[in-house]
Chains A and B, each alone.
Chain A
Amino acid sequence: MATGTYVPIVSNVISGNTTQLVDFQNIPQTYTDLVVILSGTMATSWDIWLRVNNDSTSKCPQQWAFGDGGAQPYVYNVVDTVFYPVLNAHTTEPYLSTQHFPNYANTTTYKPYLNYSGNAQYQFGITNGAWNNTNAINRIKIFIDPAQTTTYFANGTTIGIYGIKGS
């Protein structure tokens, strides 16, 4: 008999208009893949950042491909200290970002990262990257550039982590 899986590990619904950081620690190591889902809006349009295991070194090579209505999608290759679940998250058009961390508890391989996100009116994007580290992922921090002191996750924004377990 197949085993039911895809379970919410933790979910955080933002209340009020002051939150700039959601930090999930002690993530269980009992699943095969992690899926992080963000949905909401921003007080002021800005990028959303994601950091793995609080690693602030430049170990996140990634490729962004996104379209905003032009003929061709834009593609950028960068190496950064964070991933970008949502670029230019909008103030009124809700975004949805689904991010995959396959094999996240493995301690032998680097950790691929796959994200697709967008909103109805402005943008659709894919981020394909990797966290250049063999450590198991046990912490995911989702936040706004600390230099941006006037923007934050809008009230009602939902940030959740789900676990998928293979048979």
Chain B
Amino acid sequence: MADKNFKVKTGLTLPSPLPVDQGGTGQTSASNTLNALLPLQTSNANKVLQTDGTNTSWITPSVAYTRGTTSQRPASPTAGDLFFNTEKKAFEVWTGSAWVSVAVNGAVPLPPTIGTASLTALIASVPFTGPNDFGDAAISTYTATSNPGSISVSSATSPISITGLTAGTAYTFTVTATNAFGISNASSASNSVTTANVPGAPTSVTAADTGIDGEALIAWTAPGSNGGSAITDYIVEYSLNAGSSYTVFADGTSTATSATVTGLTIGTTYIFRVKAVNVIGTGTASSSSSSYTPVAHFSTSFYSISTTNVGAGGQGSLTISSIPQTYTHLQLRLFGRLTDVVSSGDALIRFNGDTAGNYSHHHWYATGSSNSASSPSPSASSTTMWSSYGGFPGTNKGTSWWGYHVIDITNYTSTSIAKVIKGLGGYSKLETSTTSSQETSMTSGQWNSTAAINSITISGVNWAQYSSIALYGWS
């Protein structure tokens, strides 16, 4: 016997509520009257349509049906008897020789209302609002579908997340609603959203010596395109075989356009390349850097002893004490601007707290905007050593101009000879776009003491913020 499909004639007005098994909330008793399910039409009333796929005919089912599992079907049915099969969740009709399923056509929901789609990386969020008219059965699920790609994801709630999108592609989305009787028409298409792509390749990769054995500073220019999403990291790779293969250097996560690579082997030739990363993934590699071969560096003999970086509160007198006696010479590097003088001033330097007249110094200086220089200016038996002669700008020079002096102190640990001091520095100020004023000075001095220097006091000035007083030692 050919398969036969039976269905209620199109246009049925279905009862409300529907049977629970059909998505409704009522008619749960084991035996219910089907009258209300059947069309009240002049012809074919109380009939169902029988079809074998080619021919159709109307038959009149019984007006009542029973329900249960397959094993609970009526034992002695007559043609037209209806049975609701709770296992199949479908009506069945006895044709006289077999039970066949009866499809019931109810109304499907109206289309949902699409919301504004958005993207996070390659995941789309598709919001929607369910229809006011959900048809003749409760909506069981909503399905969002992408275009292109036809990627469909179903969910009972809004929004629906669609994964598996392709980078660099414009998408729209539609949503359908499904109830027990079928699938609604699709909603209108959403707004178009375009997924980001991976970043472009960085450019201008360079490798430079940092001055430290086994290190190189790799620098590059950010790619012209971030792919539509912010760059989150750069991957630095190196090659030991002229680019045949690369190894990633573990430099952590950073968006800086330079990185210091360490652990390089002195004498080995490296080339470097860089890749940019965003939320989508890793972009193509840059062109490689020029070849770089780390070299061994000389051992530094210049050491930082003390650095004072002046904060917002300024800095007055300062003493650097407990100076190590392990170097040959000292170098004082003074960078600053003064807040307690109007035109220009000098730092006063004392060693070991000595306030006696044991200092002598000479200065040569050029000042102002005139093209002239002073004669050497000797000063003997002073109670302090001058760092310079008017070498630091005061308040009338504005806040942008700074003086700088390098002062060398030789043989500071000697307990046999006096200590010689040499200083050089000045400041320069742009008065207009074409004129300037400056002060340049050289200092030569001596502390007439054979004591080793173990403390230096710098006084007589108030340093402005960003000034720096640094003491170094070298051997």
- Residues of chain A whose beta carbon lies under 8 Å from any beta carbon of chain B: 2-11, 25-26, 28, 32-33, 58-59, 61-63, 65, 72-79, 100, 102-103, 106, 108-110, 112-114, 116, 126, 128-130, 132, 134, 162-167
A108 and B466 within 8 A (CB): yes
With A10-B208, A75-B366, A130-B430 as contacts: A5 and B302 at CB distance below 8 Å:
yes
Sampled A-B contacts (12; CB under 8 Å): A5-B472, A6-B301, A7-B211, A8-B209, A10-B209, A32-B307, A61-B428, A63-B428, A102-B404, A114-B404, A129-B438, A130-B428
Tell me whether B433 is interfacial, beta carbon within 8 Å: yes
The answer to whether B302 touches A103 (Cβ under 8 A) is: no
- Judge whether A166 and B430 touch: CB under 8 Å: no
Q: Which residues in B have their C-beta under 8 angstroms from that of A2?
A: 303-305, 324, 473
Binding site for A on B (CB under 8 A): 206, 208-212, 217, 219, 258, 297-307, 309, 324, 333, 335, 364, 366, 369-373, 400-404, 406, 424-431, 433-440, 442, 466, 468, 470, 472-474
Knowing A26-B217, A33-B333 are in contact, say whether A65-B306 is a contact too (CB < 8 A).
no
If A32-B470, A63-B428, A79-B436 touch, does A114 touch B300 (CB 8 Å cutoff)?
Answer: no
Report whether A166 and B304 are in contact in the complex, using a CB–CB cutoff of 8 Å: yes
Which partner residue on chain A sits nearest B308 by CB separation? A166
Q: Which residues of B contact A109 (CB under 8 A)?
A: 400, 402, 466
B427 touches A112 (CB 8 A): yes
CA gap between A77 and B426 in the complex, in Å:
13
Q: Evaluate whether A166 and B468 lie within 8 angstroms (CB atoms) in the complex, with A77-B438, A103-B402 already known.
A: yes
Number of A-B contacts (CB under 8 A): 170
Known contacts A25-B206, A32-B307; A7 and B212 CB within 8 A of each other: yes
Q: Which residue of A lies closest to B432 (CB)?
A: A79
Please name all residues of chain B whose beta carbon is closer than 8 Å to the beta carbon of A102 when the two chains form the complex. 333, 335, 402, 404, 468
Q: What 18 new A-B contacts, CB under 8 Å, besides A61-B429, A110-B401, A112-B428? A: A5-B472, A8-B297, A9-B209, A11-B209, A32-B307, A61-B438, A75-B370, A77-B370, A102-B333, A102-B402, A113-B428, A114-B406, A126-B442, A128-B426, A130-B427, A130-B429, A166-B309, A166-B470
Assembled-state Cα–Cα distance A109/B258 (Å) = 24
Q: Which of B219, B303, B439 contacts A4 (CB under 8 A)?
A: B303
A-chain residues with CB within 8 Å of residue B208 when the two chains form the complex: 9-10, 26, 28
Closest chain B residue, CB of each to CB of A33: B333
Known: A109-B402, A116-B424. A167 touches B305 (CB 8 A): yes
CA separation between A5 and B295, bound complex, in Å?
18
The distance from the CB of B209 to the nearest CB of chain A, in whole angstroms, is 6
Decide if B466 touches A79 in the complex (CB within 8 Å): no
**CB-nearest residue of chain A to B436:** A61
Cα A167 to Cα B323 with chains together (Å) = 14
Which residue of chain A has the shortest Cβ distance to B220 in the bound complex? A26
Does A8 contact B430, Cβ atoms closer than 8 Å? Answer: no
User: Contacts A3-B304, A112-B335 given: A164-B429 contact, CB under 8 Å?
Assistant: no
CB–CB B307/A166 < 8 A = yes
Q: Known A77-B371, A114-B406; judge A9-B335 contact (CB<8 A).
A: no
State the CA gap A51–B209 with chains docked (Å): 21
CA–CA, A79 and B212, complex, Å: 37
**Also in contact, A62 and B438, with CB within 8 A (given A32-B470, A102-B335, A130-B429):** yes
Whether the Cβ atoms of A126 and B304 lie closer than 8 Å is no
Bound Cα distance from A15 to B288, whole angstroms: 25
User: For residue A167, which residues in chain B have a CB less than 8 angstroms away from its CB?
Assistant: 304-307
Once the chains bind, are B430 and A59 in contact (CB under 8 Å)?
Answer: yes
| Interface pair B404/A100, CB less than 8 Å apart | yes
A7 CB to closest chain B CB (Å) equals 3
A4 touches B402 (CB 8 A): no
Can you name the residue of chain B whose Cβ is closest to the Cβ of A29?
Answer: B258
The answer on a CB contact under 8 Å between A110 and B400 is yes
Out of A26, A132, A166, which one reaches B219, CB within 8 Å? A26
CA A79 to CA B437, docked complex, whole Å: 10
A112 near B302: Cβ-Cβ < 8 Å: no
Contact A164 B472 (CB under 8 A): yes
Give bound CA distance, A111 to B474, whole Å: 25
* Contact status of A58 and B473, CB under 8 A, knowing A10-B209, A110-B401, A166-B304: no
